[in-house]
Amino acid sequence: MKLLSAYGVALLAAQAAGVAIKHRINGLTLTEHPDAAKRELLQKYKVKALGFNCVSFYVDWALVEGKPGEYRADGIFDLEPFFNAAKEAGIYLLARPGPYINAESSGGGFPGWLQRVNGTLRTSDKGYLDATDNYAANVGATIAKHQITNGGPIILYQPENEYTSSCCSVEFPNADYMQYVEDQARNAGVVIPLINNDASAEGHNAPGTGKGAVDIYGHDSYPLGFDCANPTVWPSGDLPTDFRTLHLEQSPTTPYSIVEFQGGSYDPWGGPGFAACAELLNNEFERVFYKNDFSFQIAIMNLYMIFGGTNWGNLGYPNGYTSYDYGSALTESRNITREKYSELKLLGNFAKVSPAYLTASPGSLTTSGYADTADLSVTPLLSNGTGSFFVIRHSDYSSEDSTSYKLSLPTSAGTVTIPQLGGTLILNGRDSKIHVVDYNVSGTNIIYSTAEVFTWKKFSDSKVLVIYGGSGEHHELSIATKSNVTVVEGSASEITSKQTGKAVVIGWDVSATRRIVQVGDLKVLLLDRNSAYNYWVPQLATDGTEPGFSTQETVASSIIVKAGYLVRTAYVEGADLYITADFNATTAIEVFGAPSNAKNLFINGDKAKYTVDKNGIWSTEVKYTAPDISLPSLESLEWKYLDTLPEIQSSYDDSLWPDADLDKTPNTFRELTTPTSLYSCDYGFSTGYLLYRGQFVATGNESTFLVDPQGGSAFGSSVWLNGTYLGSWTGLYVYSDYNATFDLPQLEAGKTYVITVVIDNMGLEENWTVGEELMKTPRGILNFELSGREASAISWKLTGNLGGEDYEDKVRGPLNEGGLYAERQGFHQPEPPSQNWKSSSPLDGISEAGIAFYSASFDLDLPTGWDVPLYFNFGNSTTPEPYRVQLYVNGYQYGKYISNIGPQTNFPVPEGILNYRGTNWVAVSLWALSSEGAKLESFELSYTTPVLTALAEVQSVDQPKYTARKGAY
Ligand code: IPT
């Protein structure tokens, strides 16, 4: 398949669809975490408003094929509502079903049973390929059904993920393997282009490289890395400079694509927290790094992540905690209050209205010729009068200096030295600008603008160009016109202008007060950046109420709205203009370009009184009065308590437990050092807490017990001998397993003893490097020694979630629950049989080592029409006693809190998991890892700013309540 230009993607997608070529793709996409898709949280309007036109999504194989051969993608795992939501809002999709996805997810998306396949993962080994077939065929068919050729939103398919790195003499890159993964998609009916994401620009599988080549070559880039602990440090040399050169070497015939560019960062257990990541990858990072990508004429730019969401139900890998906020533009609780969201909106909307950018010719980064100081570097994207772009930044990209400069730019009016009317241009610190030249605003030629373009529109009676600059900056704009300049809003004395033959030049200092200058039929809004953040450019729906895809027509028919928190949609019905928007404060609204047939204004369905000024701007206001939100006190709920470690009672019967009796392991990663396998995945247990029971008849000479449990980073473990607590490993990030030796009390010869070991399984390792086989790193017990005895003296049983791969809860899926007694019984679900349980609260806790389980219900009655983020908060640890908590909300595991490691103490739970107007069930397991016991220091439900929202009523997901489970032990 040959792609001719940067328009290739659009061309290909439209041709395949057999329709006229209307789709203009500016190549901006964003990535969502798998859980977001599953919960239908596309956040479609928040993405659409950015000016972005595509979302990439992973599918997590482990969630949909928990049992080999049984693909289940219904209920919350159904992809189709997500696809439909994308189509409605007019967002294209890039499908990334793996089978390997990485994504900081358990096993990198591989189901636990892959630990048993005979074959190296992500290679041509038959055992591995066979294992992928069922998933690939099913997910591929669903994707094929919704690809653009069938009227759906999916335009690109990414086989594999970062197929880049190998070790251990495995054949690499293996063309047969890559081809196999691609054939799986094709055989399932996928006809859209295949795009890959090399971890770095190494040219793997680029078109023309033979077997295994994709249609569009793409690579990933995380230039600032993941060091959120130092959020202001931009190490030298981290800004890419060679991407254009590499592109021309590696894949010159395809649109230049970065399939993952850094949009945030992950954060480990005990890490600095996502607020620090949001600071490291903040709005300044976006300005400098994203514009740098633009300097390479990037055509497909996908940010990872735009919305990370939550590692609910054990979805995460061992190195990360429950939150997958990622410091992204959309927070985990769906807020868009981070400045990086607003900054991204400026850039995305600029790209959306600047198609000339895709046909200009990128030049090389230079310190000479364009700016008059070597402290600044410029990359030109040149054209002959049809739109040139000059990307400017500090030569030392991390400089915090303020640098004055003059520009010398080639324009259709000759080379111009700017500013022409006096004053000084300035670049303040970590900033980068795109200066446009010969920029076409619907037939009006902007000869240059030093202020940056947010958007422009042609309305029936005028054109509007919106440009902005940083506070205190001086800017200049030149327009090819013989018309006069009139200041139609704001003070004329603050604006200088001069007619120079065929052009007019306008100079001004940026101010927080808007000025509008009129030149012919063009109105130019001069804004400061912070004001520009309040502007939105909703596409007017052409059919119905939804914006639809961004075609030349729909982009052209957009209006410009100044509002506040969020503008979702705009559409006209007869003489009525409808705007849907969200508000977090009383907000003045202005509409630019209301269609001439529109006479009435409705905001969120309510008719609004508005005024029209002499410039035709409609003005109204939406009042915000914070609603009364009353939340129950979690501390005073009627908590019921159950000891969820009955295993240590002398009467406990484990006869229904699976025997750990395999004397060989299918796992090729590590040889057994125990007589039988104690690897949990060998027995189908790959998620959540694991429990082991080892029984032996004592000789009386045993003095110590050594055990080496492995649960992954930050895991913990506790050990009992019958009812006697031997001790715990309380966890550190750097330990995935830990050898601990416990002194035993004097044992009685001939008496039977049981050792109980509880292990926190933090998720399975990823498998980033092909050949290393890290995903097969076992969970469970690696080794043990009972002093003075043969290992075979102990016979072991184990359990994890009830049924293992024959998991009980088909609604919440294969990963959600672990192996605690209460979980096996299903007591974490709504309405457990707790009538006869003791009344006791997790705030009282337990006074010795053990695991307690608590359940309670509460009602919520939140006002409709408000989007209110809710959080479960655990108090910061003030006592030294370590404990681990699992939080269940209506049966869904929505948090793992580790008091002695952190950092997460606040756990957002979205509406839909919580019933905002109804009854909710919360359950907490509290594992005390010291003989002092533990209790929650505090436990509260809290909210952040309620957003007055146009969001439709959120339907709750299925929340099956407790029913007695057959065969539960
Ligand atoms: C790359 C992966 O493709 C993606 O799934 C995710 O893990 C991301 O990075 C990090 O958050 S892996 C690359 C950074 C080595």
- Report d(CA 77, CA 71) in Å as an integer: 11
Q: How is residue 854 written in tokens?
A: 């608590």
Q: Domain 7-353: which topology?
A: TIM Barrel (3.20.20)
Residue nearest to ligand 1 atom 8, measured at CA: 103
Of the pLDDT bands very low, low, confident and very high (cuts 50, 70, 90), residue 879 is low
Model pLDDT for residues 13-41, shown as the tens digit of each residue: 211 122 222 222 333 455 555 444 333 35
Best of 105, 106, 162 for a ligand 1 pocket test (most atoms within 8 Å of beta carbon): 162
Q: Nearest residue CA, atom 4 of ligand 1?
A: 103
Residue with tokens 């090729």: 668
Pocket test for ligand 1, best of 261, 304, 317, 768 (most atoms within 8 A of CB): 304
pTM value is 0.95
pLDDT of residue 7: 25
Cα–ligand 1 centroid distance for 769 (angstroms): 12
Give the pLDDT mean for 869-886. Answer: 88
Residue 961: its pLDDT value, please? 98
Label residue 542 exposed, middle or buried (CB < 10 Å: 0-12, 13-18, 19+). Answer: middle
Give the pLDDT confidence score for residue 8 in this predicted structure.
Answer: 23
Q: What tokens were used for 577?
A: 């203009």
Give the per-residue pLDDT at 425: 98
Nearest protein Cα to ligand 1, atom 7 = 103
Structure tokens at 165: 């790195």
Average pLDDT over residues 59-65: 95
- Mean pLDDT confidence for 70-96: 91
pLDDT band at 877 (very low <50, low <70, confident <90, very high): low
Ligand 1 center–CA 888 separation, angstroms: 28
pLDDT value of position 501: 80
Query: Mean pLDDT across the stretch 181-197?
Result: 98
Which is nearest to 361 in space by CA: 295, 317, 287, 432? 295
* CA 164–ligand 1 middle distance (angstroms): 12
Q: What atom of ligand 1 comes closest to residue 222's alpha carbon?
A: 14
Atom of ligand 1 nearest to the CA of 58: 5
Instruction: Please give the pLDDT value at position 661.
Output: 98
Q: Looking at ligand 1, which residue's alpha carbon is closest to its atom 10?
A: 103
Of 89 and 5, more confident: 89
Q: Is the pLDDT confidence value at 559 over 70?
A: yes
pLDDT at residue 1, rounded to an integer: 22
Which of ligand 1's atoms lies nearest the C-alpha of 766?
Answer: 7
Look at residue 412 and tell me whether its pLDDT is greater than 60: yes
> Which residues have a catalytic role annotated?
162, 260
Please report the atom of ligand 1 found closest to the CA of residue 162.
3
Comparing 242-246, 304-308, 789-793, which segment has the lowest mean pLDDT?
304-308
Torsions phi, psi of 715, nearest 5? -65, 160
> Residue 690: is its pLDDT beyond 60?
yes
Atom of ligand 1 nearest to the CA of 305: 11
Give me ligand 1 centre to Cα 735, in Å: 22
- 8 A C-beta contact, residue 628 and residue 805: no
The alpha carbon of 102 and the centre of ligand 1 are apart by a number of angstroms equal to: 6
Residue appearing with tokens 């580790």: 898
Residue 139 CA to residue 133 CA, distance in Å, equals 10
Let me know how long the chain is. 969
Query: Is CATH 2.40.50.100 the classification given to domain 646-799?
Result: no
| Closest protein CA for atom 5 of ligand 1 | 103
- Rounded to whole angstroms, the Cα distance separating 214 from 194 reads 5
Q: Using CA atoms, how far apart are residues 359 and 375, in angstroms rounded to an integer?
A: 29
First-last CA distance in the chain: 57
Residue-wise burial string across 187-226, b where 16 or more C-beta atoms lie within 10 A, e elsewhere: ebbbebbbbbbbbebebbbbbebeebbbbbbbbbbbbbeb
pLDDT digits 0-9 by tens, 527-546: 999 999 999 999 999 889 99
For position 500, what pLDDT does the model report?
85
Q: Considering all CA atoms of the chain, what is the largest pairwise distance in Å, rounded to the nearest integer?
A: 108
Residue nearest ligand 1's atom 14 by CA: 222
Distance 923 CA to ligand 1 centre (A): 33
- How far is the centre of ligand 1, averaged over its atoms, from the C-alpha of 336 (Å)? 23
Q: Are 421 and 496 in contact (CB under 8 A)?
A: yes
Q: What is the pLDDT of residues 731-758, one digit of tens each?
A: 999 999 999 999 999 999 999 999 999 9
Contact status, residue 253 vs residue 209, Cβ threshold 8 Å: no
pLDDT band at 12 (very low <50, low <70, confident <90, very high): very low
Residues 944, 610: Cα–Cα separation, whole Å: 31
> Which two structure tokens, joined as six digits, stand for 622?
């939406």
Pairwise CA distance, residues 93 & 48, whole Å: 12
Tell me what the mean pLDDT of segment 945-952 comes to: 93
Q: Is the pLDDT of residue 228 over 50?
A: yes
Span from the CA of 853 to the centroid of ligand 1 (angstroms)? 36
Mutate to test the pocket of ligand 1, among 220, 226, 274, 772 (most ligand atoms within 8 A of CB): 220
Mean pLDDT over each residue of the chain, to the nearest integer: 94
- Domain pair 357-619 / 634-642+820-948, same fold: no
CA distance 902 to 733: 10
Residue 884, phi then psi, degrees to nearest 5: -125, 135
CATH code assigned to 357-619: 2.102.20.10
The string of pLDDT tens digits covering residues 839-850 is 999 999 999 999
Strand partners, 356: none
Nearest CA to ligand 1 atom 13: 199
Sign (positive/negative) of CA torsion 590, 594, 599, 601?
negative
pLDDT category of residue 904 using cuts at 50, 70 and 90: very high
Ligand 1 mutation target, pool 57, 96, 102, most atoms within 8 A of CB: 102
955 — pLDDT class (breaks 50, 70, 90) = confident
Q: What is the pLDDT of residue 799?
A: 98
Per-residue pLDDT averaged across 385-394, rounded? 97
pLDDT per position as a tens digit, 631-668? 999 999 999 999 999 999 999 999 999 999 999 999 99
The minimum-distance atom of ligand 1 relative to the CA of 326 is: 11
Q: Which CATH number fits domain 634-642+820-948: 3.40.30.10, 2.60.120.260, 3.40.920.10, 3.60.20.10?
A: 2.60.120.260
Which residues line the pocket of ligand 1, CB cutoff 6 A?
Answer: 101-104, 161-162, 199, 220, 222, 260, 266, 304
Would you kindly state where each structural domain of the chain is located, as residue ranges?
7-353, 357-619, 634-642+820-948, 646-799
